[in-house]
Amino acid sequence: MSDEPLMPSEVRRKVLSQHREIEQMLSELETGVTHLGDGTVGADQVKRAAYALRGILELHMNFEEAHMVPAINEADGFGPERVRHLHAEHADQRQELDRLVDQIREASSSDDLKASVVKLAQMLRKDIEEEEREYVNEKLLHDHIMPNDTFGG
Ligand SMILES: [Fe+2]
Ligand SMILES: [Fe+2]
């Protein structure tokens, strides 16, 4: 992964597309647990998908910290406060993610496994929704174009 600075609009586009991919994985995981009883999907497959998802989320949060944080920091006067808030939220999310993935690993029945997957999906969907409302929007992440005299009045 390159550490070249990205334009704020590019950061926004990439983060949004990663969010859609994560939601897609969550839907697949949720569909997977509904088939636990019918023999088409095994508990091991669901568990492996959950570990893979945790790895992808770690990469995603690292991407946000490397690229979205600098863009937010410079967006307006509230930048540093928003950045502190984002880091605090990521710390909570990492802790909660570890807790839920541990629960998934240790689940000994289909019902336990299903319940943990549902909790994980709910948490991540809510986090994504809040993050997009608070940070990943055009108001905060837009490119700064030099004003043109014609429109400058
Ligand atoms: Fe995030
Ligand atoms: Fe995110």
Spatial neighbors of 14 by CB under 8 A, at least 6 apart, are 6, 63, 67
List Cβ<8 Å contacts ≥24 apart for 106-111. Answer: 107/43, 107/47, 110/33, 110/36, 110/37, 110/43
The alpha carbon of 84 and the centre of ligand 2 are apart by a number of angstroms equal to 15
Q: Any idea which ligand is nearest the CA of 90?
A: 1
- Per cent of the chain over pLDDT 90 is 84
pLDDT at res. 58: 97
Q: Any idea which ligand is nearest the CA of 65?
A: 1
The alpha carbon of 57 and the centre of ligand 1 are apart by a number of angstroms equal to 9
| Residue 4: pLDDT band with limits 50, 70, 90 | confident
Q: pLDDT by residue (tens digit) across 133-149? A: 999 999 899 997 765 55
Q: pLDDT by residue (tens digit) across 32-41? A: 999 998 989 9
Topology annotation, domain 8-135: Four Helix Bundle (Hemerythrin (Met), subunit A) (1.20.120)
pLDDT at res. 1: 53
Domain ranges of the chain: 8-135
User: In this model, does residue 3 exceed pLDDT 70?
Assistant: no
The alpha carbon of 153 and the centre of ligand 1 are apart by a number of angstroms equal to 39
The alpha carbon of 128 and the centre of ligand 2 are apart by a number of angstroms equal to 6
The alpha carbon of 46 and the centre of ligand 1 are apart by a number of angstroms equal to 23
* Collapsed DSSP state (helix, strand, coil) of residue 6: coil
Q: pTM for the whole thing? A: 0.90
The alpha carbon of 71 and the centre of ligand 2 are apart by a number of angstroms equal to 14
